Structure 1
Amino acid sequence: MLIGIDASAGWIKTKTGAENYAKNLILALAKIDRKNQYILYSPGPLDADFGNLPTNFKIKILKYIKFWTHTKLAWEMFRNPPDILFSPSHVLPPLSPKKSVITVHDFAWKYFPEAYSKTSLWLQKVAVERAKRKKAQIIVYTQSTLRDLKKFYKISNSKISFVPMGFDRMHYQKIKACLPAGMACSAEIAGPYILSVGRLEKRKNTAGIIKSYLLLRQERKIKDKLVLVGKPGIGYGEIKNLINGADEIKKDIIETGYVNDKELRVLYSGASLFVFPSLVEGFGFPILEAFAAEIPVVTSNISSMPEVTNGAALLVNPKKPFEIAAAMSQILNKSALRRSLVLKGRSRLKYYSWENCARETLKVFESL
């Protein structure tokens, strides 16, 4: 069987959760499957991790132009269609084989359309509607996304496959290291700190994190700083106003902007706790990253977060800053609770592996 995969995620330099999912899944498929033939379609050279693919994996460069999926990839599907086309990003080209598979990551664009450009919203809408029209098999990796898929598009169960997400826990394992001296705010991050990772925006509830932190700091013995990792997004104006209005505590709220993978790993390892009260998530990779770094987690009791954590984190109403602050206070003041959450987080990681994700995805291909 010839399986074509949109591998453009391996070409993108700065990867988000969806691109990392695609990259790691492709590499895991390369480790477990020697029977089927694969073609990886990309607008340009894939990154170095794709340098040692087995002989049944071929890379085909379709030179980048705007709307690459809808033009170059579509034309290739017309001229040389594989038996199956897999799109890990959930966008199928207008022309695609009868047997096609996509992964739908989330419906954040339905809940927070203001966070997306008009072009992006159009592409998101077209992607799912096109997959439904073409009767593509749809992979989801959380029950939360599955519910949204049925809610918004009423797709039958037979066209949906549940495949557990993968994760490499060794990559974010706790390490002893100092932040690189060249990192802009490394000198400011001294002493204990609470960590938050994600774009500074409304959907990630960054304003709620700051409000809850200001409440937490009313406890005199708590001096932990708040480290916000991520670029500004929609609603950043309110976030900046909250920081500027924090008086003497303002200096303890540190924005790092974008950090590279090595810097992020060091930041996880040094944190006293991880706070992630997002308003909607397709999955929430940072939660697993925190579990791997052995730090306790406070996250939301809505969307996919309860399912991902499965009892290994303190769950809160993300719209109630006092509740978030109280959960953080419990972790910082109760060492037994902290140890318990770390152990539960470590145990929860056993459920997620790229090998299992690849095997279950391969079963989907072979069932068509």
Structure 2
Amino acid sequence: MKVLFDHQSFTGVSYGGVSRYFFELMRSFTKWSDIEFELSLRLSNNEYLDQTSFSSHLRYRSLAQVRNVHKIASVLNRLYSLQRVKAGKFDVFHPTYYHKYFLDAIGKKPFVLTFHDATSERYGKQYPEVGEGLYELKKQLMRRADSIISVSEFSKQEILRFFPIEPEKIKVIPLGTTLGESISTDKLLPPLAAPYLLYVGKRGLYKNFDGFFRAAQPVLHRHPDLHIICAGGGAFNQHEQGLFYAAGLTGRMHYRPVDDTSLLALYKYARAFVFPSLNEGFGIPVLEAFSGGCAAVLSNRSSLPEVGADAALYFDPENDDSIADAIERIVTDDALNAELRQKGTQRLLDFSCDKTASQTLEVYQSLC
């Protein structure tokens, strides 16, 4: 069996959950003899692909800041992917995002679509940046797809809520993480001498970082040795710096760019990982926290309780008192902290990238 993946999630994106998902799928498939695959990609600066040999694309890092260079790369990649689709040398096509460029060329070949979340449907009007206007495109693709993979039961219910799709067409396949699998945690050094809470990823819009910081302020003032580290998501902007200054907490807010090794160290030494997001299709950082032996304190919304189960402490992300109470508990209750760390390690055993890939392969095989 041969599967064709396209360029979409690897174009113009160095990091990101969607490209990481497809990268991990392909990396698992390289270990198995009952599946071959091709990634139709010519130009990319994606960092995950630097770790592997299954893509022969060209990198253009020195040109990355040139105006419109990503648009040009996207057009060239799309033309190449379309050429590979038309060649038809595959059994199943798995596009890596929601562009429909291939629909007129794919003929009767089956294709699988992965649905990650309904953020654009829930928040598109409030936050147009998350993809307002994607609805009709997603609907068209899901109707034409032979099978739809949902990354969580929550996301499956979102599909059924927003789209006219038959439930039997949807297969729930949870995600996994490889963070920590090839890194010795014994050699990781503490990123900060003081105790800290860890926030990971983008901070704008529905990610609710401002709400988290507002709610955390009284806790930080009660515990003057406690800091917050924000990993990834870009350096603090002027708005955020103003918030920190107004609260008198500038010296206790830290930004860290990350790779896998530094991220694992941040999880390992954090007092807790806090995830205040209003909407997640799955929530890979929860598994990453478990990989680092870190206590997880999570929003009680969307997929997060499904992923964290009883291995996390939960709060209402739109209630400042609820957030503050959860942070206070995890900071002051050593027994609870240790219990969550132990439960997180156990919970992680239910997830793996190889399990995700194996279940995905079963979907492919069912279409052939």
The verdict on a shared fold, with TM-score over 0.5 as the criterion, is yes
Task: Give the equivalent residue in structure 2 for 1:101.
Answer: 112
Match of 2:229 in 1: 227
Q: What does the per-residue CA deviation read over 1:230-288, in whole Å, with 9 as the maximum and x for residues that have no partner?
A: 3359x9665444212112x33212233x3333322222222111111111111111111
| 1:293 CA displacement | 0.9
Separation in structure 1 between the aligned mates of residue 180 and residue 262 of structure 2, nearest angstrom: 16
Cα distance in 1 for partners of 2:229, 2:199 equals 6
RMSD (Å), alpha carbons: 2.9
Deviation at 1:345, TM superposition (A): 0.4
**Structure-1 residue corresponding to 2:244:** 243
Q: Which residue of 2 is the match for residue 215 of structure 1?
A: 218
Structure 2 Cα separation of the partners of residues 130 and 139 of structure 1: 15
Cα contact 2:29–2:35 (8 A) shared by 1: no
Q: How far apart, CA to CA, are the structure 1 residues paired with 2:18 and 2:214?
A: 29
Report SS of the residue matched to 1:66.
helix
1:349 lines up with 2:348 in the alignment: yes
Look up the equivalent residue of 2:30 and give its one-letter code. Answer: A
Partner Cα separation in structure 2 for residue 72 and residue 127 of structure 1: 21
Paired position in structure 2 for 1:31: 31
Per the normalisation by structure 2, the TM-score is 0.84
String of CA shifts for 1:130-167, please: whole Å, max 9, x gaps: 32342431101111111111111121012211112122
Deviations 1:302-345 (A, max 9, x none): 10100010111001100112211111111121111111100110
Q: Work out which of the residue numbers 192, 203, 206 in structure 1 matches 2:195.
A: 192
Match in the other structure for 1:183: none
Q: Which moved more, 1:166-175 or 1:75-84?
A: 166-175
The gaps in structure 2 that reach 5 residues or longer are 61-71
Q: CA deviation at 1:127?
A: 4.1
Q: Residue 93 of structure 2: which of 66, 85, 89 is its match?
A: 85
Among 59, 76, 85, which residue is 2:84 paired with? 76
Superposition TM-score, scaled by structure 1 size: 0.84
Distance 1:59 1:38, change over 3 A: farther
User: Take 2:97 and 2:290, find their aligned partners in 1: how far apart are those partners?
Assistant: 26
Q: 2-side partners of 1:262 and 1:169: how far apart?
A: 8
Aligned equivalent of 1:329: 328
Tell me if structure 1 keeps the 8 A contact 2:241–2:250. Answer: no
CA 1:69–1:143 in 2, change beyond 3 Å: closer, same or farther? farther
- Please list, as runs of the form range in 1=range in 2, the aligned pairs for 1:1-368 lying within 5 A after superposition: 1-6=1-6, 9=9, 14-32=14-32, 34-44=33-43, 47-51=49-53, 65-67=73-75, 71-80=79-88, 82-92=90-100, 93-94=102-103, 95-98=105-108, 99-113=110-124, 115-117=127-129, 120-122=131-133, 124-171=134-181, 174-178=185-189, 189-219=192-222, 221=223, 223-231=225-233, 239-247=240-248, 249-256=249-256, 258-368=257-367
Rounded Cα–Cα distance in structure 1 between residues aligned with 2:365 and 2:200: 37
Letter in 1 for 2:29: L
- Identity, % of aligned positions: 25
What is the CA–CA distance in structure 2 between the aligned matches of 1:345 and 1:310, rounded to whole Å? 9
1:97 and 1:38 mapped to 2: Cα distance? 19
Structure 1 residue 173: Cα displacement:
7.0
Q: Figure out how many residues of one structure are paired with residues of the other and give that number.
A: 347
Partner of 2:63: none
User: Partner letter of residue 218 of structure 2?
Assistant: L
Q: Distance in 2 between matches of 1:36 and 1:131?
A: 24
For the 8 Å contact 2:5–2:37, the answer to whether it is kept is: yes
Residues 81 and 97 in structure 1, CA contact (< 8 A), matched pair in contact too: no
Q: Taking structure 1 as reference, are residues 142 and 206 closer, same or farther at Cα in structure 2, changes over 3 Å only?
A: same
| 3-state SS in 2 of match to 1:139 | strand
Code of the residue aligned with 1:195 in structure 2: it is L
Counterpart-to-counterpart distance in 1, 2:78 and 2:128: 19
Instruction: For residue 115 of structure 1, report the CA deviation from its aligned partner.
Output: 4.3
Contact 1:175–1:266, Cα closer than 8 Å, also in 2: no
Moved more, 189-198 or 316-325: 189-198
